[in-house]
Structure 1
Amino acid sequence: MNIADNPLLLPFNEAPFSSIKNEHFKPAFETAITMAREEIDTITNNTDTPTFENTVVALDYAGAQLDRISSVFFNLNSAETNDHIQKIAQEVSPLLSEFGNDITLNEQLFARIKHVYDQKDTLTLSVEAQTLLEKRYKSFARNGANLAEDKKSRLREIDASLAKLKLTFGENVLAETNAYELHLTDESDLEGLPESAKEAAASAAKSRDKEGWVITLDYPSYIPFMKYATNRALRKELSIAFGSKAFKGNEHDNQKNVLEIVQLRHERANLLGYETHAHFVLEERMAETPSKVIAFLNTLLEKAKPAAQREFAQLENFAKAEDNIEQLEKWDGSYYSEKLKQKLFNLDDEQLKPYFKLENVIAGVFTVAQKLFGLQFEEVFNVDTYHEEVKTYHVLDADGNFISLFYADFHPRKGKRGGAWMTSFKSQMMKDGINERPHVSNVCNFTPSTPSKPSLLTFGEVTTLFHEFGHGLHGMLANTTYPSLSGTSVYWDFVELPSQVLENWCYEKEALELFATHYETGEVIPMELIQKIKDSATFQEGMQTLRQLSFGLMDMAWHSQNPSAITDVKAFETTAFSETSLYPPTPETCMSTSFSHIFQGGYSSGYYSYKWAEVLDADAFEYFKEHGIFNKEIAQKFKEHVLSKGGTENPMTLYKRFRGQEPQPDALLRRAGLI
């Protein structure tokens, strides 16, 4: 294929989605890898003495074309995939893994970097430049640059295997999600479901050329059924289908993949001189060591468990009194929690949804960003997108200067994985004296509109939108020199601070009144509903905290010990959950086999960071509350010291510069009502 015919190999600013065909990807990757190798060769063959500029900086900008192609392709593989794209992903992932190893195991390149690193005390570098040098040297040392040749060869084999295993894991979860449907033809089976959920189920059936209603394992379909359907047997069927994804002994089973992934990660860590995978990962985190993470999780567990047990007993008693339920099961949890919440607070999602029309919530999060950071959002219609549902916006500052391009993709589709995430199609950086501005995307899976109703969000979906938009702001407001330190390129247990802190505005009257208006009448959300949202915010907080801690502790169980003796995924998981379990076990289900965060995504040995970041965000929001939630001065400090700085300095240094002190865990416990 001629380069001139491949849009991915021509210079582009906005991703040229409509011109890209599947057959363009593999040749584009191969050509871009060759180009990047040539850029690396230029650095290593340079006969001048290694300097920070000609080696470290040159390396940071090398492979820019490959980075852009990768961001376009892997985002499509998450948001708009098909069999062909998945096949390409399996083919190119080992090539990328091999190329990454070729860089970190390149002795000439490492020798040049080490030469500069050894002179670091005599160089007059900016703080950001010092961070880049330190990060670059460690990335080589931590990825095998000092290994003997035979060990380097084994490292390459491990990395290639892991790249494929992680992809296969994700494909299996998606295939299992898509393979299941609960097809109902008797309307009585939908008893308890709100009209909006019934209508969505009817639409799902119609799209499959079926009569009646279809419930799927996609969150907008699954969650309302589990929360409202009175038919306990169907809740059980759906719950087990959801919990047994990739755990059925069929072609999409992930048990073997889980064991192989953890074993290879452990072997890799040992090769590099680390005790376990968690020791390797946490060296580059605020938390630093597995023992600190486990101590942190157990401290929260100590505070949360008594509350969780009280809440669970309350729920058991309520279910017994309501429906004579002798044994509360997992498929009863959401249903009776929702009923109890309605009884205690006279509040349910269906009351709130009319006030959260998607377009209004988007306008609301934009207004919050405008009031805090002076940003303006203008929808544009001439930017190429990968699907007709994707909306695009120009983000401008208060003076009308271009800050970022923003893509928003909000509804489930067959080729789109579940969940919600922020991603980037172009990084911010300073290049040739020009501040290249980022292209940022938010992808979610919200309830779509139906023939009679617009897309109305649950309150949980509202907080999800604010959460992902917080990540988006971290990307949009990036203002650093080097691409590898820009935006969300920060320690993993710091990356959730901007996203989680923004969720707090969803609970504040001053913010809600900006956008929470009834989609039919235009009435602003009544104060009594706002008060109920606030009052119910800590409802079952002990149980919610226990759930998050259980995931963090299981992640550490998989990754902070030698896994070679583990042969039974389910048995191991059951032991890991033993301190946090409230419900009776269900033998048919297993979480690990679909726990994409740690086995496909980047959260291995990092799931604790959600709780870690909650400590940061609760402490940060207390600072806002003390001075007013739209206080410009505090917002400017947050923008200047956190959002714009990326990974240019140690995150605790940045946080203390913003807050004036280290974060206080008590802020989280106060907010959660646990102290």
Structure 2
Amino acid sequence: MKKNTVFSILTCSIILFSTSCKKDTDTTESSETMSDNLLLQDYTGPYGGVPAFDKMKVEQIEPAVIAGMEQGLKDIEAIANNTDAPTFKNTIEAMERAGSGLDNVFTYYGIFGSNMSSPEFREVQGKLAPKLSEYTSKINQNEALFKRIKSVYDASQKTPLEADQQRVLELTYKRFEMNGAELDDVKKKRYAEINKELSSLYNKFGDNVLHDEENYITYLTKDQLDGLSEGFIKSAAKIATDNGKDGQYAITNTRSSMDPFLTYSTNRELRKQVWTNYYSRGDNGDEFDNNTLIAEILKLRRERVELLGYKNFAEWRLQDRMAKTPENAMQLMLAVWPAAIARVKEEVADMQTVADASGQKSDIEAWDYRYYAEKVRQKKYNLDSDEVKQYLQLDKLTEALFYTAGRLFNYKFTPVAEGKVPVFHEDVKVWEVTDLDSGKAIGLWYLDPFARPGKRSGAWATTYRSHTTLDGPKTVLASNNSNFVKAAPGEAVLISWDDAQTFFHEFGHALHFFSSNVKYPTLNGGVRDYTEFQSQLLERWLSTDEVINQFLVHNKTGEPIPASLVAKIKKASTFNQGFGTTEYLASALMDMKLHLADPENIDIDKFERETLAELKMPKELPMRHRTPHFGHVFSGEGYATAYYGYMWADVLTSDASEAFKDAPGGFYDKEVADKLVKYLFAPRNSMDPAEAFRKFRGRDAKIEALLRDRGFPVPTEN
């Protein structure tokens, strides 16, 4: 998500907002002509103005960023050199407005970086990375500016400001302190140099992963399709044709293509090939290999925080997170880990029995896990994932999102007529969002659902404009982005239950954006191990009776999903939790251990292998994100030593969901829903997350709810 641009450039999030940041001043266009650059202009049109996505061009990016940075530094200098005594209004509030010229630029930049990347853009991106790093360092290390911030902060310790002002002030002060504002000149210089080096490394890391996603495609012939569904085959045929391979079938190197193939293909050797392609991204021993880059990133991160007096990156990073310390984060993960790997052992035993009976004369391997897990699901619960998928139509699930938003938030989503709001690709659709309590349009929701070349993998949410009232109320422009495989013409887009949960998850982020009631842009930010809580919580509404009974209908017959099938889904709700929990936790533990280790001469491949062995990682499954393609952690800093945050948020989610389960109206109980919006969504970062949860729940969250959710043993008190 975007906060004030001046301070958000180097805090890029892979799940929420991607702004890898970059530039070189070899352009001859001067800033005096920048008023003609579309990307720097205010949005025009309906809904308080909308991005001109239909007119943006890659060549506009570099000069727009340069001009925006020039103006941003002028804004900062004006604040820093103000001769009036520092106050909240002339210092902190002025900073909230500083650098606003870059806000729109980075909306377009984010689209080119995440949704419509190209070799031309990546070249610009690489040139801009060090320049944007320098820009941020000039602000963070401005002594006169920090002196004014500190003066306002010190005064507030004696005479506190209004609650939201105090929160903005404390977040601003802490941000500058954590980024070297109090270092001496020599250390400041090195700190800035490190940030500049890292920005280029992050950019290169992401480009390498994207290269491997685009260039490792598995093409099948007609005799290699056994086990695959008709819809998947038609989609794979279209992708192959689009890639100039008419008559073949393409399995792209993305999760949305890999996952169903590994689940249903009967061809074990092909499963191995597809699995290997996917989990080897960034690790192919060629010019696009990321292992050396990771080692350098870890070394530079450690050196940078040592300048500030911290022992390691994790200690520095977590001080302003809910976990506070690496020890607390590790304690949570290791409390769940034994139960997770124990469950994997049980799951593998069940799968091996099925594999042996089918004639497979070898042990379960990682490329077998999804395939035989599906066989076990069918045997144990008589539940076929492909049968469930026939009731999970993307269009109907989109309606389910709107229904949920209406019941909990009183929001209405209305399609915007094609052509009224510009979009950057024909696949993108737009809805107007109305708050029925006020009767006012509060923003627009953009949906970019399908995979395509140049679009990064995964699913994420972002904003093109956030709500604030500092200079009058602003409508929200929010976007959800997925990588579903487009169906063949005339066919419904069918997705898996897991993908449907992710769809709800990302929509939870969008609702968090729309519900904001903050005045200051900084308060639209978030605490990383808390911001995933709201989105993870929204996943729970997918399995409510109201959603199931209204929106899960068969794609061919239109018949509602049978009650017997729903019962099977709910009965199997904790099935395969060993796999899901272990693959995630392994990545989170690896993230933390890498940043706690001595980075000098670290061998990334060896460290990964030895750490997994030390954790007794089951050999039958991989980490969700292997280190060489762990973009959350190494293509930016948003989730570095913070990937554990999904687990932290899941504790909050499990506990909060029990509040709904226990309420008279269940998951649609009005009183609990009102508290949900009031304390957990609308305040954004204007309230300490722990305090906000206590106001909602009446106490702190308990890990026992998480263990119950996953069907793991809950320890009893002695």
Alpha-carbon distance in structure 2 between the residues aligned to 1:584 and 1:79:
33
The aligned counterpart of 2:5 is none
1:355 is paired with a residue whose SS is coil
Residue 145 (1) aligns with residue 181 (2): yes
Counterparts of 2:106 and 2:218 in 1: how far apart (Å)? 36
Q: What is the alpha-carbon distance in structure 2 between the residues aligned to residue 228 and residue 308 of structure 1?
A: 20
Answer yes or no: is 1:346 the counterpart of 2:382.
Answer: yes
Query: How far apart, in 2, do the equivalents of 1:155 and 1:191 lie?
Result: 56
Give yes or no for contact 1:418–1:445 (8 Å, CA) kept in 2. yes
**Alpha-carbon separation, structure 2, partners of 1:417 and 1:300:** 31
Q: 1:319-338, aligned counterparts within 5 Å?
A: 319-338=355-374
For 1:225 and 1:572, locate their aligned partners in 2 and report how far apart those are by CA, in whole Å: 30
Q: Is 1:446 matched up with 2:484?
A: yes
User: Which residue of the partner structure matches residue 427 of structure 1?
Assistant: 466
Residues 301-360 of structure 1: CA deviation (Å, up to 9, x unaligned): 133232222222222232222233322111111111111111112222221222121111
Which of residues 489, 492, 497 is equivalent to 1:459?
497
Task: Determine which of 51, 66, 80 is the counterpart of 2:102.
Answer: 66
Instruction: Select 2:455's aligned residue among 402, 413, 416.
Output: 416
Unpaired runs of 5+ residues, structure 2, are: 1-28, 44-48, 714-718
Matched residue, 2:36: 5
- How far, CA to CA, are the matches of 2:594 and 2:498 in structure 1? 29
Q: Residue in 1 aligned with 2:19?
A: none
Shift in Å, 1:580: 4.4
Whether 1:481 and 2:519 are equivalent positions in the alignment is yes
Matched to 1:266, the amino acid is R
Return the alpha-carbon distance in structure 2 between the equivalents of residues 116 and 91 of structure 1: 37
- Describe the SS at the equivalent of 1:8: helix
Which of 335, 359, 369 is the aligned partner of 1:299? 335
> Residue 403 of structure 1 corresponds to which residue in structure 2?
442
For the 8 Å contact 2:341–2:618, the answer to whether it is kept is no
Q: For 1:66-103, what per-residue CA distance to the aligned partner results, in whole angstroms no more than 9, with x for missing partners?
A: 12312320232111111111111112222221111111
1:217 to 250, 253, 257: 253
Q: 1-side partners of 2:78 and 2:360: how far apart?
A: 75
| Inter-CA distance 309–584: structure 2 relative to 1 (3 Å threshold) | closer
The aligned amino acid for 1:273 is: G
- Answering whether residue 561 of structure 2 is matched by residue 525 of structure 1, we say yes
What amino acid sits opposite 1:445 in the alignment?
Answer: N
Matched, 1:593 2:638: no
- Residue 620, structure 1, aligned to residue 656, structure 2: yes
Q: Distance in 2 between matches of 1:245 and 1:136?
A: 38
Q: Decide which of 645, 650, 654 is 2:683's aligned counterpart.
A: 645
Alignment correspondent of 1:504: 540
**Counterparts of 1:657 and 1:72, CA distance in 2:** 38
Superposition deviation, residue 537 in structure 1 = 1.4
Distance 1:454 1:306 in 2: 39
Name the aligned partner's letter for residue 513 of structure 1.
N
Residues 34-53 of structure 1: pairs in structure 2 closer than 5 A: 34-53=70-89
Q: What do residues 165-221 of structure 1 show as CA deviations (whole Å, max 9, x unaligned)?
A: 111101100101111121222x22111111111111111111122122121212232
Q: Shift of residue 590 of structure 1?
A: 9.1
User: What SS does the corresponding residue of 1:639 show, helix, strand or coil?
Assistant: helix
Q: Which range is displaced more, 572-581 or 129-138?
A: 572-581
Give the AA of the match of 1:10. Q
Per-residue deviation, 1:153: 0.7
TM-superposition CA deviations, 1:515-540 (whole Å, max 9, x none): 11223322221111111111111012
Q: Is the 8 A contact 1:75 1:423 kept in 2?
A: no
Paired letter, 1:8: L
**1:104-115 alignment, distance < 5 Å:** 104-115=140-151
> How many angstroms apart in 2 are the aligned matches of 1:526 and 1:76?
43
Match of 1:172 in 2: 208
Deviation of 1:256 after TM superposition, in Å, equals 0.8
Question: 2:52, 2:422 within 8 Å by CA — same for their partners in 1?
Answer: yes
What residue ranges of structure 1 are gaps of 5+ in the alignment? none
Question: Cα deviation per residue 1:15-54 (whole Å; 9 max; x = unaligned)?
Answer: 1111221111111111111111111111112111000111
Q: Contact conserved, 2:459 with 2:482, CA < 8 A, in 1? A: yes
Query: Which of 260, 268, 288 is the aligned partner of 2:324?
Result: 288
What is the Cα deviation at residue 599 of structure 1? 0.9
Q: Secondary structure at the match of 1:235?
A: helix
Q: What SS does the corresponding residue of 2:431 show, helix, strand or coil?
A: strand
The answer to whether the aligner puts 1:659 opposite 2:662 as a matched pair is no
Deviation of residue 229 (structure 1)?
0.8
1:575 aligns with 2:610: yes
- 2:531 aligns to what SS in structure 1? coil
RMSD of Structure 2 on Structure 1 (CA): 1.7
Measure, in 1, the Cα distance between the counterparts of 2:273 and 2:343. Answer: 30
User: For the Cα contact (< 8 Å) 1:507–1:530, is it kept in 2?
Assistant: no
Instruction: Determine helix, strand or coil for the equivalent of 1:274.
Output: coil
Whether the 8 Å CA contact 2:341–2:617 is kept in 1: the answer is no
Among 424, 427, 440, the residue aligned to 1:386: 424
Secondary structure of the residue that 1:405 maps to in structure 2? strand
**Alpha-carbon separation, structure 2, partners of 1:4 and 1:47:** 30
Q: Which residue of 2 aligns with 1:94?
A: 130
Query: How far apart, in 2, do the equivalents of 1:128 and 1:629 lie?
Result: 31
Conserved in 1, the CA contact under 8 Å of 2:118 and 2:454? yes
CA–CA separation in structure 2 for the residues paired with 1:304 and 1:336 = 18
Give the structure 2 partner of residue 21 of structure 1: 57
Superposition pairs for residues 227-376 of structure 1, below 5 Å?
A: 227-376=263-412
Instruction: Identify which range, 60-69 or 302-311, moves more after superposition.
Output: 302-311
Distance 1:346 1:3 in 2: 64
Segment drifting more, 158-167 vs 516-525: 516-525
The CA distance in 1 between the partners of 2:150 and 2:35, in whole Å, is: 39
Following TM superposition, by how much is the alpha carbon of 1:585 offset from its aligned partner in structure 2, in angstroms? 9.1
After alignment, is 446-455 or 500-509 more displaced?
A: 446-455
Maintained 8 Å contact 2:541/2:547? yes
CA distance in 2, matches of 1:194, 1:222: 14
Task: Say yes or no: does 1:636 pair with 2:636.
Answer: no
Q: How much does 1:452 deviate?
A: 4.2
Please give the TM-score of this superposition, normalised by the length of structure 1: 0.97
Alpha-carbon distance in 2 for matches of 1:303, 1:176: 34
Is the 8 Å Cα contact of residues 403 and 477 (structure 1) preserved in structure 2? no
Q: C-alpha distance in 2, partners of 1:585/1:471?
A: 29
Q: Quick one: distance in 1 between partners of 2:597 and 2:190?
A: 21
Bigger shift: residues 507-516 or 283-292: 507-516
Contact 1:104 1:140 survives alignment (8 Å): yes
SS of residue in 2 equivalent to 1:598: helix
Q: Which of 226, 230, 240 matches 1:191?
A: 226
SS at match of 1:563: coil
Structure-1 residue corresponding to 2:4: none
Deviations 1:483-530 (A, max 9, x none): 0111xx111000111110011111222221131122332222111111
Q: Quick check: 1:507–1:533 contact (8 Å CA) kept in 2?
A: no
| Counterpart residue number, 2:66 | 30
Question: What secondary structure is seen at the aligned counterpart in 1 of 2:364?
Answer: coil
Bigger drift between 434-443 and 504-513 goes to 504-513
